[in-house]
Amino acid sequence: MTAPDTRTVTREAKHYKSDVKPVWCPGCGDFAVLTAITKALAQMGIAQEDTAVVTGIGCAARLPGYLNVYGLHGIHGRALPAATGLKLARPELTVLAAGGDGDGFSIGGNHFLHACRRNVDLVYIVMDNEVYGMTKGQASPTTEPDWSESRLTPQGPGVEPFHPLSLALISGANWIGRAFTGDPQTLTHMLVEAVNHPGLAFLHVLSPCVTYRPEQKDWKKTVRREAFTPTEDPVEAQRVLETDDGFNAGVLYHGRRPVYAPAPEATAGMADLDREFVL
Amino acid sequence: MASASLSIAFTGSGGAGVMTAGQMLLAAAGRAGHYGLMTRSMGPQIRGGESAAFLRLARHPVGAPDDRIDLLVAIDWENVTRFLAELPMDAGGLILADPAQGAVPEGLVAHGPTVGDLPLKETAKSIDGGRANMVALGAAAGIAGIDRAAVDAVVNRALGRKGEAALTAARAAIEAGFAQAREHENGHALAPPETAPAEGTRWNVSGNEATGLGALAGGVRFVAAYPITPATDVLEYLAPRLEKLGGNLVQAEDELASINMVLGAGYGGVPALTATAGPGFALMTEGIGLGIATETPAVVVDVMRGGPSTGIPTKSEQADLDIALSGMHGDAPHVVVAPNAIADCRATTEWAVRLAEALQVPTVVLSDQFMGQARAVLDAPGAAPDVPARRTAAPDDAGTYRRFAVTGDFVSPMALPGTPNGMYTADGLEHDASGAPSTLPEVHAEQLHKRRRKLEVFDYGAFWADVEGDGPAAIITWGSVTGAVREAADRLRADGHAVRVISLRLLLPAQPERLAAALEGVDRVLVVEQTEGAQFHRYLRAWYDLPADVRCLNRPGPLALRPGEIADALKEGAAP
Ligand SMILES: Cc1ncc(C[n+]2csc(CCOP(=O)(O)OP(=O)(O)O)c2C)c(N)n1
Ligand code: SF4
């Protein structure tokens, strides 16, 4: 992606934070993602002004306001298309798209498939808490079928959850990893790797919702660190996912799929186009 | 007697080559110095099915089909009854049909046109590689009195790359058509052009091509869109040309993606556009609202077709006016413009891009199938009036830049990503001047007011409408219907009735003071539009002061409004 900034500026993580106070509940996993982004950007030396963070709607999607980079806090589910338009129009920028699991896999599900397939050079961070936090606790596409805490689905949603990593893999994402907010250092490292890898990098972050899924505080016991061994082979990655229960962390896949980055050189001017119509 | 205008229809089943014959005749007439307009009618079939090409050739610029058809050349009669309403044949008309295809359908001969035999299939068969549509082209060109050399030049250009054999066959078929034309009643020849047009001054262009060209002239270098009839031609025109200009067209996964990609590019500082039709526009409304709230330039072209829902995808209507004006939730001021002729698609789309950029606002261009898919020989289209460029910011120290600061003209300089010290979040949440989310009533009121006022205080100049003629009666209209209205007005004036035509190009923000000035001295208004629900009439009632005597001539698509009925409607309303 963007070459490291060679200007003699010291970049510290705090420079990437804005002074807006997050609306998040104390203990929310999303704080760790915010911090990891600022650390990763500082570490890579990417200038604030050369970075853009694009999100949809949800607790997780509030991210851009808390960062001191260019931000686009758009509409529910549409972070990826907005990020795609920005990156294709301004390929020199480092563009991160981000949001929650409802934003990315439910209302934005179609864009997720097609963004992976299109493989534009973006990072897509999904802060998965298996619930709709912002709308106060409904089931999401990654919620277990028997989770019965929502008044909307008192018997539980009754449908099997999506497997986002599998979807990303079969759809064509070029880098796939899973991180956990309870392991912020690895999260930062993985972010750096995701930014540096060409094409669409999908970072699935297990990010507990302490308010509507308090039991997720136990994830620190369930998550297996570095459980994946990175592979370039999509078939191998697929095989690994067959036994994945959603708690394996690490880089699953880093591929060499062709990146969509059309950059045609101008070869004509308006006068040439006018001439086409002259009788 | 030679006529100043000649209307010709070709009909035939899909694959019969009706459109090719029509396009070649139009191009040949253009080369011979005539003006012309070709519209088309297609059945719902994906391939095949019935189709008809309607041409009007004339010594003056043509903006609308005539009330009647002078010459119908039928390659076959398959499903022609579906077009009956579009084929008004009277006693002055001539039908040339292949006797091998059976009798002329009754509906066509009811008003007494002359019927002549044109053995198209047989003639084509007698020529090695001959095709019936080329015989039909020759016959029509012969009857219209179009110079043979002009026809040959067009055929050479169109078929040259198919090789000598194809050219020879086509030329022989056309020659046979010309020969047969001589056998038929011959009062239909077009009067020769008044003067030969100067080299390079006439264009052959469709409305959708002109729209695409206008977008590029306005500076659009990023397009994201999802295919939909009748807007796809705009995209097909744009894709290779954008590449030539160093830009990009992305085929998005749906219209939700299209509009959001466009906003992403616009936020990044690259003028961006999407083109769609009603169903796609409906999907885009939330995104357009985001563009309004974040003050991000974007252009959305809606090439209207019959609605609601999937409606009549291949036919024209003006019924997306309501959704374009007020389809967004919340108080959502934006700009809506509408070209009123094929040539005008270029300037109006260019203007839309410039307005979107200058005012940092999503701008909707309402074109329609009739104008978009019609092709015309016309005088080279003009450009849009000057509009200031997008105002950008380059703050020189950190922490002072306020992206949404309220300025004198309510437009705030926009920092583009990559600009040091300009970092801000474009937020669909209500935000204060710095861009930080806010639920404070005073902040909401301030920003709503700012977003409305920046559009209201801007001076749109004389391009807001075309105001023509004078007198106490006025026709107010918009969009492609303007062509028929203009012709109706010309006829009325020729009959000694003074009439004013006001065709609105700028629909939002409404310009009540300008319309009041244009209506100075008018006591009687006829509103003309192609909707069932009189959407334009209701819009005028909501925003403007009109005289007491207002009538409305409105009809849904797909039938075109014809000049004669418009002139009659105005006369009917006249005081006895
Ligand atoms: C079109 C639309 N539909 C519904 C909503 C309401 N809404 C806001 S956020 C949200 C779900 C957010 O859940 P998720 O993406 O999982 O993020 P979280 O809040 O858990 O971080 C919904 C349904 C909306 N803003 N827009
Ligand atoms: S509701 Fe859940 S996801 Fe939202 S801020 Fe609170 S803890 Fe985080």
Closest CA to B444 of B430, B454, B458, B433: B430
CA distance B323 to B304: 11
**Strands (DSSP E) along B153-307, which ranges?**
202-206, 222-225, 248-251, 272-276, 298-304
Judge whether A54 and A78 are in contact, CB under 8 Å.
no
pLDDT bracket for residue A1 (50, 70, 90):
very low
Closest CA to B34 of B158, B185, B182, B141: B141
Instruction: Tell me the shortest Cα–Cα distance from B257 to chain A, in angstroms.
Output: 5
Q: Domain coordinates of chain B in residue numbers?
A: 5-184, 204-379, 400-456, 461-572
Is A47 at the interface with chain B, CB within 8 A? yes
pLDDT at A148: 97
Tell me which DSSP letter residue A3 carries.
P
What is the mean predicted confidence (pLDDT) over B390-400?
90
- Ligand 2 close to Cβ of residue A216 (< 6 A): no
In DSSP terms, A254 is beta-bridged to: A175
Q: Cβ contact (<8 Å) for B423 and A71?
A: yes
Residue minimizing CA distance to atom 16 of ligand 1: A102
What number of C-beta contacts closer than 8 Å exist between A and B?
Answer: 182
CA distance A199 to A195: 9
Q: Does this complex have an ipTM over 0.95?
A: yes
The number of the ligand nearest the C-alpha atom of A100 reads 1
pLDDT at B43: 72
The number of the ligand nearest the C-alpha atom of A213 reads 2
Work out which ligand 1 atom sits closest to the CA atom of A99.
Answer: 15
Is A184 at the interface with chain B, CB within 8 A? no
Pocket test for ligand 1, best of A30, A66, A103, A136 (most atoms within 8 A of CB): A103
Please give the distance of CA B95 from its chain centroid, rounded to a whole number.
30
Three-class DSSP category at B563: helix
Q: Cβ contact (<8 Å) for A93 and B417?
A: yes
Does residue A2 surpass a pLDDT of 80?
no
Work out which ligand 1 atom sits closest to the CA atom of A30.
Answer: 21
CA distance A90 to B268: 6
Task: Quickly tell me which residue has 């802060």 as its tokens.
Answer: A127
- Label residues B45-80 b or e (16+ Cβ within 10 Å = b): eeeeebbbbbbbbbbebbbbbbbbbbbbbbbbbbbb
pLDDT at A21: 95
Work out which ligand 2 atom sits closest to the CA atom of A59.
Answer: 4
pLDDT at B15: 83
What is the mean predicted confidence (pLDDT) over B485-497?
97
According to CATH, the superfamily of the domain at A11-276 is Thiamin diphosphate (ThDP)-binding fold, Pyr/PP domains (3.40.50.970)
What is the mean predicted confidence (pLDDT) over B284-309?
98
- Ligand 1 close to Cβ of residue A132 (< 6 A): yes
Judge whether B223 and B255 are in contact, CB under 8 Å.
no
Tell me, what amino acid is at A106?
A: S
**Which residues numbered 49-68 in A keep a CB inside 8 Å of some CB on B?**
49-50, 52, 54, 57, 64-65, 68
Does residue B71 surpass a pLDDT of 80?
yes
Does residue B306 surpass a pLDDT of 70?
yes
Is A278 at the interface with chain B, CB within 8 A? yes
Would you state the structure tokens that stand for residue B441, as one six-digit string? 């009533």
CA distance B217 to B211: 10
More confident call, B184 vs B561: B561
CA distance B499 to B471: 5
Q: Cβ contact (<8 Å) for B244 and A273?
A: yes
CATH entry, B461-572, from 3.30.930.10, 3.40.50.920, 3.30.70.20, 3.40.1280.10: 3.40.50.920
Name the closest residue on chain A to residue B201, using Cα atoms: A278
Cβ burial of A271 (10 Å; 0-12, 13-18, 19+) is exposed
- Ligand 2 close to Cβ of residue A107 (< 6 A): no
DSSP state letters, B114-182:
EEEE--HHHHHHTSTT--HHHHHHHHHHHHHT--HHHHHHHHHHHHGGG-HHHHHHHHHHHHHHHHHHH
Among the residues of chain A, which ranges form H helices? 30-44, 79-89, 101, 109-118, 164-171, 184-196, 219-222, 234-241, 270-275
pTM above threshold 0.90:
yes
Measured CA distances, B173 to B13, B125, B146 (Å): 19, 10, 16
Tell me which DSSP letter residue B49 carries.
S
- In CATH, the architecture of B204-379 is 3-Layer(aba) Sandwich (3.40)
CA distance B364 to B361: 10
CA distance B435 to A192: 28
The pLDDT tens digits for A35-79 are 999 999 999 999 999 999 999 999 999 999 999 999 999 999 999
- Chain B residues near residue A82 by CB distance under 8 angstroms: 260-261, 263-264, 267
Measured CA distances, A161 to A56, A175, A238, B49 (Å): 21, 22, 17, 46
pLDDT bracket for residue B45 (50, 70, 90):
confident
Best probe of the A interface among B223, B250, B261, by most A CBs < 10 A, is B261
The pLDDT tens digits for A101-143 are 999 999 999 999 999 999 999 999 999 999 999 999 999 999 9
What's the CA-to-centroid distance between A59 and ligand 2, angstroms? 6
Three-class DSSP category at B222: strand
Closest CA to B534 of B511, B510, B513, B550: B550
**Strands (DSSP E) along B269-409, which ranges?**
272-276, 298-304, 335-337, 362-368, 375-379
Residue minimizing CA distance to atom 6 of ligand 2: A25
The number of the ligand nearest the C-alpha atom of A32 reads 2
Name the closest residue on chain A to residue B419, using Cα atoms: A49
- Tell whether the torsion through CA atoms of B63, B67, B68 and B70 is positive or negative: negative
CA distance B91 to B111: 6
Does residue A8 surpass a pLDDT of 80?
no
- Chain B residues near residue A266 by CB distance under 8 angstroms: 244-246
pLDDT bracket for residue B441 (50, 70, 90):
very high
Three-class DSSP category at A150: coil
pLDDT at B575: 64
Best probe of the A interface among B255, B378, B425, B432, by most A CBs < 10 A, is B425
Residue minimizing CA distance to atom 22 of ligand 1: A135
Lowest model confidence (mean pLDDT) among B203-207, B250-254, B556-560: B556-560
Please tell me if the domain spanning B5-184 has the same topology as the one spanning B461-572. Answer: no
Does residue B146 surpass a pLDDT of 90?
yes
- Ligand 2 close to Cβ of residue A25 (< 6 A): yes
Closest CA to B242 of A259, A266, A272: A266
Give percent above pLDDT 90 in chain A.
Answer: 95
Q: Cβ contact (<8 Å) for A74 and B428?
A: yes
Measured CA distances, B332 to A104, B68, B339, B509 (Å): 27, 44, 22, 11
Is A213 at the interface with chain B, CB within 8 A? no
What is the mean predicted confidence (pLDDT) over B87-115?
93
The pLDDT tens digits for B154-180 are 999 998 889 999 999 999 999 999 999
What is the mean predicted confidence (pLDDT) over A186-205?
98
- Alpha carbons within 13 angstroms on the beta-carbon side of residue A96 total 30
Instruction: Tell me the shortest Cα–Cα distance from A147 to chain B, in angstroms.
Output: 31
Tell me, what amino acid is at A84?
A: T
Instruction: Tell me the shortest Cα–Cα distance from A28 to chain B, in angstroms.
Output: 20
Does residue B377 surpass a pLDDT of 90?
yes
CATH class of B5-184: alpha beta
The length of chain A in residues reads 279
- Ligand 2 close to Cβ of residue A212 (< 6 A): yes
What's the CA-to-centroid distance between A20 and ligand 2, angstroms? 17
pLDDT bracket for residue B298 (50, 70, 90):
very high
What's the CA-to-centroid distance between A131 and ligand 1, angstroms? 10
pLDDT bracket for residue B576 (50, 70, 90):
low
- Chain B residues near residue A71 by CB distance under 8 angstroms: 423-427
Instruction: Tell me the shortest Cα–Cα distance from A90 to chain B, in angstroms.
Output: 6
Give the mean pLDDT of chain B: 95
Judge whether B21 and B72 are in contact, CB under 8 Å.
no
